Structure formats: C-alpha cells, structure tokens
Amino acid sequence: MRPAWILASMISCSGGAPTTVVPGDPICDGLLQEGEGVIDGPWDQDGDGHMNDADPDCIEHYGANRLDCDDTEASINASRTEIPCNGLDDDCNNDTPDVVDRDEDGSPACDDCDDENPLRSPDFAEECWDEIDNNCNGLLDEGCPPNWNGTFQLDQEIHYSCFLGKISFGFSELEMTYNPPGYGAARPIGSALPGTMSGELGKDGSFRMRRVINGDCHQEYTIEGQFINDNQFEATYTATFGNPLLCLNCNSPRVYEIIGTRTLLP
C-alpha cells in the first residue's frame, strides 16, 4: 500500500484535497516539503511555473519545457517564444539566438536593412556604380562621380596599316575604364593595336591616355578628350610613328576626331 502522503498528492493533482506536506528537507521533486510554501517554490522564484535549470533535482524531475534559465524574470522560460533583438534569451533555447545574422555580413537582422543580402549593411561604405544601397541609408551610389565605364561606339571607324602590315589597327568601339579619383584607360575592341591606353581621367570628365611601344619602329598612341555627359565623349585619337625609314613609310601623325556614345555598361 502507498503511503498516505503519496495518495494525498495524487488526489491533489487530480483536483481533489489540498496537497499534503511530505516529510523531509525541501527538494525540487514535484512534491511539497516543509519550508517550501508551495510545491518547489524555492526553485521558482519568479512564479512562472518553471523550475531553475541550474538545479540537478529540477532537471531530473521536470521535463525540459518546465525548466527556467532565468528564475528572476517571469517572462523568460522554456515555454516562451524568442523575441529577436531584445537582448534576452526568452525561450531558454540556444538554438533560437536573440541575434541572427542570416547573410553573415556582420550586422544582426535587427540592425540590417536587408539581412538576406550580404552586400547591404549600415556598417558598410557606399560602393560606387553597383546600383545597391550598400550602407542602408535609402540612397543609391550617393557621393559617387559619374560612371564613365563601359563600351562606347565611335562615330567613325579608325583604321590604318603600314610597315608591311606589321603595324595595323582598325576599330570602331572603345572599352573605357574609370577608377576614381583620377585613373582611366581606353582599350580598342577588335584590334590588337594600339592595346590599352592608360592615363588620367579627372572628376570633370577630361582625360588623356596613351600607350608607347618601343622597337624598330617607335609607336605612340594617344586619346585625349572630354566627357560631355555620362554617356558620351568627344576626343582626338592620335597615332605617331618614329623615323619613316625605320617604320617603312608609316606616315604620322595620324589624327582622328571622334565622338563616342556608350552602348553598354560594364
């Protein structure tokens, strides 16, 4: 036969007579010992019905959903739902962290304007010409100079051949590259010569780029001009060769006045 205090406890749990005080020192076991006041009250200081998860007896006698990782705050226990970014472990579950950084850009979701995009964070500097609000301030490419990168169609074909065909160029498109604050490059598309001309491209859109090729026949190629808007420039392209005797009748300078219109962004 079961002791009377166990029967009394069973009756109490089913809504019967008041809970019986059982003999012994207080212990977190689901029973009422002398000095506890209420069942396992010393291990439920905040009165939320969840027991202190630092006590081995509570761990032994209660399921995980009845334990409490902060027994001083009734709003924190294993039955709660985690509230992001409030600095608290509301649900006492390490698998649902308070701070989440889904895109792993170093900014938590509560601070990040787009936690699915690792290129956007309030801690980032704005990147020029990527059409992304990198710094989460609601603006695109603010503070950036005009974008003069891309492919530009010329209003005429530039072509010339001399030195028995060893020097030959022909092109009608240029690939322009701009690297602030002052570097620029121009590379003809579809022609080995003159190759990439490089030099200055200022914030005002003025540029001068050149390439020098030394050898039996000295060659110098220069393009100098001005962007008149974001998508168009006017320039002078000049090809200069060394001694005509060494360059086999390469007449110079060869000068072309050109207008370039952007057809493709990089």
Q: Tokens 């019986």 appear where?
A: 20
How many folded domains does the chain comprise?
A: 3
| Per-residue three-class SS string for 28-66 | CCCCCECCCCCCCHHHCCCCCCCEECCCHHHHHHCCHHH
Last residue of a domain, one of 38, 72, 98: 98
pLDDT for residue 16: 44
Same domain, 180 and 256: yes
Helix (H, G, I), strand (E, B) or coil at 238: strand
Same domain, 51 and 127: no
Same domain, 207 and 124: no
Same domain, 130 and 158: no
How far is residue 78's CA from residue 92's CA, in Å, rounded to a whole number? 5
- CA of 224: how far to CAs of 80, 179, 194, 211, 214, in Å? 69, 17, 15, 12, 21
Gyration radius from the chain CA atoms: 39
* pLDDT by residue, tens only, the chain of 266 residues: 333 334 334 434 444 445 677 887 899 998 989 888 899 889 888 888 899 888 899 988 898 889 988 888 888 888 888 888 888 888 888 888 888 888 899 888 888 999 899 999 999 999 887 889 999 999 988 888 788 999 999 999 999 999 989 999 999 999 999 988 789 999 999 999 999 999 999 988 999 999 999 988 999 999 999 999 989 999 999 999 998 888 988 998 999 999 999 998 76
Same domain, 159 and 123: no
How far is residue 69's CA from residue 137's CA, in Å, rounded to a whole number? 38
pLDDT for residue 21: 77
Same domain, 138 and 185: no
Beta strand segments in the chain, E: 51-52, 67-68, 150-162, 167-179, 183-188, 197-201, 206-213, 219-229, 232-241, 254-264
Same domain, 86 and 112: no
Same domain, 79 and 54: yes
Same domain, 75 and 25: yes
**Which residues form the domain of 137?**
102-142
pLDDT for residue 156: 97
Same domain, 23 and 122: no
Q: Find the distance separating the first CA and the last CA of the chain, reported in whole Å.
A: 88
pTM exceeding the 0.85 threshold for the entire prediction: no
Same domain, 259 and 155: yes
CB 102 within 8 A of CB 115: yes
Same domain, 185 and 257: yes
Last residue of a domain, one of 98, 132, 164: 98
Q: Which of 203, 197, 195 lies closest to 179 in space, CA to CA? A: 203
